[in-house]
């Protein structure tokens, strides 16, 4: 009779606890020792659940990608008209700005890592692609090009706020987005 622990469930919990760490430190700067300390487990335990640092990171990217897609769907479920969708999306973004930023950092690390590798994991490239297009579909403005562009803008905005220490307020984004969609 083994210890009563749901291996997969615990693995996911560990992943969740890693998110902020990876976002703040970056893949390369974050050591397994540091992770272990922060999660209050031993390094051995980490290697019991993941085959290595890279695997841990890849699984983290996969996990958050799936979860976010789900969350975004939830948030936009009630919104019917394109306008309502934009509003809902804006609120969604605003509420989780920090999270989004962290997510961006993680993705950036992930991509850079993939590009540097000679043999990038193809599965996760797809996951990301799917996420992007998924959000665009959820948004569902008439013009698909426009939909995707809105994402671009949001992405840029989040980053801008990071570099600029939070200065362009949400209202700017809101106003600009409406201007984009309705032309004035």
Q: Which residues lie near DNA (CB under 7 A)?
A: 1-5, 7, 10, 30-34, 41-45, 47-49, 51-54
* Residue 12 vs 180, nearer CB to its own copies: 180
Provide the minimum distance between the beta carbon of 99 and its own copies in the complex, in angstroms, as a whole number: 16
Question: What tokens does 137 get?
Answer: 């579909």
Provide the minimum distance between the beta carbon of 92 and DNA in the complex, in angstroms, as a whole number: 33
Of 120, 146, 170, 174, the residue at the interface with its own copies (CB under 8 A) is: 146
For its own copies, what does the binding mask look like between residues 2 and 31, x meaning CB under 8 A? ----------------------xxxxxx--
Nearest 5°: phi and psi at 134? -60, -50
- Quick check: 105 and 26 in contact, CB under 8 A? yes
Provide the minimum distance between the beta carbon of 2 and DNA in the complex, in angstroms, as a whole number: 4
* Residue 44 vs 78, nearer CB to DNA: 44
Q: What contacts 24+ positions apart, CB below 8 Å, involve 176-183?
A: 177/86, 177/90, 177/150, 177/153, 178/86, 180/146, 180/149, 180/150, 180/153, 181/82, 181/86, 181/141, 181/146, 181/150
Query: DSSP assignment of 98-113, as one string?
Result: HHHHHHHHHHHHHHHH
Q: Near its own copies by CB under 8 A, which window of 45-53, 56-64, 88-96, 128-136?
A: 128-136
**Helix axis angle, 82-95 relative to 122-139, nearest 10°?**
130
Question: What tokens does 56 get?
Answer: 């841990």
53 binds, among DNA, its own copies, none (CB under 5 to 8 A by kind): DNA
What does the binding site for its own copies look like in residue numbers (CB under 8 A)? 24-29, 105, 107-109, 111-112, 115-116, 128-129, 132, 145-146, 148-149, 151-157, 159-160, 162-164, 168, 172, 176, 179-180, 183-184
């Amino acid at each position: 009779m083994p210890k009563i622990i749901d291996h997969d469930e615990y693995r996911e919990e560990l992943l969740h606890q890693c998110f902020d760490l990876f976002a703040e430190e970056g893949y390369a700067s974050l050591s397994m020792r540091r992770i272990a300390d922060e999660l209050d487990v031993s390094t051995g335990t980490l290697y019991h659940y993941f085959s290595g640092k890279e695997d841990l990171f890849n699984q983290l990217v996969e996990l958050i990608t799936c979860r976010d897609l789900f969350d975004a769907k939830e948030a936009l479920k009630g919104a019917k008209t394109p306008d309502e969708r934009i509003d809902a999306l804006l609120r969604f973004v605003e509420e989780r700005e920090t999270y989004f930023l962290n997510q961006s950092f993680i993705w950036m690390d992930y991509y850079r890592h993939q590009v540097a590798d000679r043999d990038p994991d193809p599965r996760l490239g797809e996951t990301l692609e799917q996420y992007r297009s998924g959000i665009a579909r959820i948004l569902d403005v008439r013009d698909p090009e426009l939909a995707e562009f809105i994402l671009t803008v949001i992405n840029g905005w989040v980053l801008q706020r990071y570099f600029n220490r939070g200065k362009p307020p949400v209202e700017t984004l809101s106003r600009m987005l409406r201007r984009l969609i309705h032309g004035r």
